[in-house]
Structure formats: structure tokens, C-alpha cells
Amino acid sequence: MEKYFNIRYEFDKHAVFRAIDEALLMKKPGYICVSDGVILATVNRDPAYCQVVDGSMFSICDSGYVPLYLRWIYGIERKQYCGSEIFMDIIHQRRYRMAFLGTTQQTLDGLKRHLSEIDPRINDMWFYSLPYKAVDDFDYPAIAQMLEKDRAEIIWIALGAPKQEIFMSKLKPYLKSGVMIAVGAAFKFYSGTDVNRAPYWMVRVHLEFLHRIYCEPKKQLRRCWLIIESLPKLLVQEWNRKRRRKKLPGKVE
């Protein structure tokens, strides 16, 4: 793992899956954050939320811009691994028993139909539309009990950031096992009933945010402003961290 912008990233896909399998083998509950620009900005504005993200097993890099920042500041090459990609990677593995929590029943029904075509076992897995309420108001012991009864190994959460990360942190103490992964809009992308992900060419040239703005203008413009407002300070802070690291004993200037 590597820490940049106050987030512990795991950029190695193989290491991500090794960590998941180890946690399941040891029956050690945990959660993985899929850190996009909203999470990046919020971590550096809200100390309580920073602790939530830091309490995860690690974050994967959902932002297409963080690798660009790291190349500019540190001269290193890292790759994006977004929530929709880890979601479908695990679906196609056909290895785990899973539960799907969040979003609307319509979206979940579409998601179930679509994913069952990839892995017929998914038709018998748990899809649960979490009620719309404040994150402190969920009955976490009851949810954990249902997940234990279901024997879910991978627990997908789709509530949107930053709510979904707080939800995972509050549910974790009640779980006896299972790895939670918050995937935001992935449920919508693969439901066939809601917004689709941007075309690959837009993802490749870092313009996916324009597609998201087109699909959900009010929500995404607010999020974009949060990121833009925070970015100059974040880049300066990371550049200063680089300078401090170079001055540590044993480091070559």
C-alpha cells in the first residue's frame, strides 16, 4: 500500500484480491473504499470522515486524475481501478457468495437479472434496498444478523459517497466475517434500468465526469465544485510531503 493525499491506496490488483481472500479465510470483517474525487476532497476536509476511510482495509483508486497527479508530483506511474471494474471483476470470478445492499428496488431487480446471466448463482443471493434514512438511523445489528444468516462473503454497498463509507464503518463492528466494498453508481451502471457508464474513450481521456454531469447534472455539478475547490490545496500539500520525505534521514536529496 502507498499513502498519498491522506489516503492509503492499494494499486496492485493482485494484492487487492489476496487481501480479500485472506480476510475471508481468517473470518476477519473489513471494508474497502473506492476512492474517487469526492472521497479525496472529503477526507481532506473532514477529520471524522478521514478516520472512516483510514479504518478501511485500504482504498482502491477510482479517480482517473490521481494517477496524473502522482506522475506530475512524484514521477511515478499508477493506474486507476474504479468501482465498476472491481465489481465486474469479482462477478466474473464466480467464486464468492455476495449480498447487494442499497439503491432502489427497481435498480436491484434489473441488476439481479443482468448479473444472473453472468453467474446463475446470483439469482439466489440477497438483494436488499436499504431504506432512505440518515446513516446513524440504520439497524446495524439486524443487518449484520441477516448477512450472517445469508453467509455473504462479499457485501456490496451502494449508497453514494460519503454515506456508504460511514455505513460500512458502522456495520463492521457487528459483522463476524465478510468484506464490504462500496461501489457507488456501479449498481446503476449494470442494472439496465438506470444511467450507464461513460464510453470507454471518455474514460481513457479522463472525461468521464462530463458524462456523469450530463446524466445527473445537479448532483454531479455539486460534486465537481467540491473537488475543484479542494484541489489546489491538496496538490500543494502533497508537493510539500514529497519535499519532507526527501529530507528524511537516509534519503538522497
Contact 150, 121 (CB under 8 A): no
Of the candidates 172, 249, 235, which has an alpha carbon nearest to the alpha carbon of residue 5? 235
d(CA 103, CA 247): 48
User: Average pLDDT, whole number, for the chain?
Assistant: 87
How are strands ordered across the β-sheet holding 7-9?
Answer: 2-4, 7-9, 58-61, 30-35, 179-182, 154-158, 98-102, 126-128
pLDDT at 170 exceeding the cut of 60: yes
pLDDT of residue 152: 96
Would residue 187 be called left, alpha or beta, if left means φ above 0 and alpha means ψ between -120 and 50 degrees?
A: alpha
Give tens-digit pLDDT for 77-102: 999 998 999 999 999 999 999 999 99
Instruction: List the single range of 11-20, 102-111, 137-146, 200-209 with lowest mean pLDDT.
Output: 200-209
DSSP state, residue 120:
G
d(CA 138, CA 141): 9
Whether this prediction's pTM lies above 0.95 is answered by no
Domain locations in the chain as residue ranges:
2-192
Of the candidates 133, 101, 31, which has an alpha carbon nearest to the alpha carbon of residue 112? 101
pLDDT of residue 252: 39
- Tell me the one-letter amino acid at 136: D
Q: Kindly state the cell numbers that stand for 154.
A: 462479499
Q: Kindly state the cell numbers that stand for 47.
A: 477529520
pLDDT band at 2 (very low <50, low <70, confident <90, very high): very high
Contact 171, 143 (CB under 8 A): yes
pLDDT band at 208 (very low <50, low <70, confident <90, very high): low
Per DSSP bridges, beta strands 154-158 and 7-9 are unpaired
Element (H, E) at 101: strand 98-102
